[in-house]
Structure 1
Amino acid sequence: MVVLNKIYTKTGDAGETALGNGARVAKHSMRVVAYGTSDELNSVVGLARLHATGDLDAQLAHIQNDLFDLGADLCVPDMEKDADRDYPPLRMVAEQVTRLEREIDAMNKRLEPLRSFILPGGSALSAHLHHCRTVARRAERLTVELATMEAVNTEAVKYLNRLSDWFFVAARIANDDGRADTLWVPGANR
């Protein structure tokens, strides 16, 4: 259980922060950038939820919880030492990816196939979900970059990859099941 009695500690005043294993690293380290971006994504999802109702709101709530799991996963390096720890760190698991796939498939059944790219926007919820999609893609790129330097849980990368797809399909659902999508017209303004 996390207990936060004091919010500021002053331990980061010199530009370092503690990872989940206690190691101190620069605040600009790739690992911190990756999990910081997943935290940013969680905030953007919170904005989208201001416009969501019903199933989409419930699914976004699950995603927000997953994003905290993702941050917990990314903030503890040295995965090979997980079995030796007194308290094994929280890691993303395949079921979280599978749940997103099931939800994508269910939403996609309601949609007509695309014949063009979509311009982000439409309803307020759709615009926010497109914003979530682009931040998720950035979080994925940064996590993949981290994985070129250090061990990263492959389920974390898969989750982020699937999540951006989820946001894309959900944005279409939020645009009257795609009927209110604005399609890209190549070269329209030449």
Structure 2
Amino acid sequence: MGFRLSKIYTRTGDAGETGLADGRRVPKDHPRVEAMGELDSLNSQLGLLLAGLAEHEVMWPGLSEVIDVLTPCQHRLFDLGGELAMPQYQALNQAEVARLEAAIDLWNEELGPLENFILPGGSLLVAQAHVCRAQARAAERRCQQLNAIEPLGGVGLAYVNRLSDLLFVAARLIGRRMQINEVLWQAAPKPE
């Protein structure tokens, strides 16, 4: 593979526009660029979660499975960003969505039903998994906003939706395997 970037700065975006891979120039706040940016933020947060999991997997070997499932997600998010940059390009397929669903189903068997609302917390890793989940929801909203004006093909929307579900279940699983209690939501007292 040749060099992808020979220069980091090009000055072509200084006027508030950016180029897409199909040759179009669009404003940097265009819904397509916003969606790409949210996916990039999610990918960065997921990288932070994976780094934290890697630091702790020696002490809690059960985290290796979570790493194995989540690591390919960074690559697929990059692929999805490519789909947004090149609207005719399709990298993701239904098998990727099915892979996430299989992990959700497997992990939910171990976790059992959720009996109460839970808060993002208990440990840094659990909280970071929830940050990723929330970022996935934000990316999904941005992709849906784009889809409303420029319909998206492929399975990208389903993938991001399922990824947010997976991250919620992963947060619970990380806590369980690290023997950390879930932080249960406590409703505000009713006014008298």
TM > 0.5: yes
Structure 2 portions without partners, runs of 5+: 58-63
Question: 3-state SS of the aligned residue for 1:186?
Answer: coil
Q: Give unpaired runs (5+ residues) of structure 1.
A: 80-88
Partner-residue secondary structure (3-state), 2:181? coil
Instruction: Count residues with an aligned counterpart.
Output: 180
- Greater alpha carbon shift after TM alignment, 177-186 vs 146-155: 177-186
Aligned to 1:174: 174
SS of 2:18 mapped into structure 1: strand
Structure-to-structure mapping, 1:1-190, within 5 angstroms? 1=1, 3-52=4-53, 53=57, 54-77=64-87, 79=88, 89-177=89-177, 180-188=181-189
- The 8 Å contact of residues 136 and 160 in structure 1, kept in 2 or not, is answered as yes
| Amino acid of the structure 1 residue aligned with 2:79 | D
What TM-score do you get using the length of structure 2 for normalisation? 0.88
**Aligned partners of 2:90 and 2:154 also within 8 Å:** no
Output the TM-score relative to the length of structure 1.
0.89
Conservation of the 8 A alpha-carbon contact between 1:122 and 1:175: yes
Shift of 1:113: 1.0
Taking a change above 3 Å as real, the CA distance of residues 134 and 45 of structure 1, as seen in their structure-2 partners, is: same
Q: How many Å apart are 1:57 and its aligned residue?
A: 1.6
Report if the CA contact (8 A) 2:42-2:132 is conserved: yes
Question: 1:188 Cα deviation (Å)?
Answer: 5.0
Question: Is the Cα contact below 8 Å between 1:123 and 1:174 reproduced in 2?
Answer: no
Shift of 1:14: 0.6
User: Superposition RMSD on alpha carbons, in Å?
Assistant: 1.7
* Distance change in 2, residues 1:110/1:15 (3 Å): same
Amino acid at match of 2:17: E
Task: Name the % identity.
Answer: 44
